[in-house]
Amino acid sequence: MIAIDTNILVYAHREDSSWHKEADHCITNLAESSAAWAIPWPCIHEYLAITTHPKIYKLPTPLKIAIKQIECWLEAPSVTLLSETETYWPKLSEALKNGKIAGPQVHDARIAALCLLHGVKELWTADRDFTRFKSLKVRNPLITS
């Protein structure tokens, strides 16, 4: 299963992003395939916080439109939302210790732990900070090499 990080969601939604076309293509392909893919709940929260923030965007996305976008993604029959379970803490604790995490990096550790907990094979992100989580395969689908 592939999981999608916040930045890919934001780029796919915001047409003013220089990565919009590539990110939208990635998510559309996942949504239209029968293969399982996932969005961690913290990425949904962060997507909403970023796209509607007036200090990040001169013209932020209205909340109603940002919510509608999430609802469109969630209509894909093969998508799953990743959330904490009773066995989440050991995964988070391990990610924090192994990644030598502190401060704002805890948010990334949370996403990594959710992915590991739910058996995600690959996290698609443009954030290189996730490489500190050695047990999680990370790929930037926006660049080809």
Domain ranges of the chain: 2-139
Kindly list the distances between the CA atom of residue 44 and the CA atoms of 48, 109, 126, 132, 144, in Å, as whole numbers in the listed order.
6, 16, 16, 22, 26
Residues sharing a CB contact under 8 Å with residue 103, sequence separation 6 or more, in sequence order: none
Per-residue pLDDT 10s for the chain (145 aa) are 999 999 999 999 999 999 999 999 999 999 999 999 999 999 999 999 999 999 999 999 999 999 999 999 999 999 999 999 999 999 999 999 998 999 989 999 999 999 999 999 999 999 999 999 999 999 999 987 5
Q: Which CATH number fits domain 2-139: 3.40.50.1010, 3.40.50.740, 3.30.1600.10, 3.40.50.2300?
A: 3.40.50.1010
Give the position of tokens 């959710």. 114
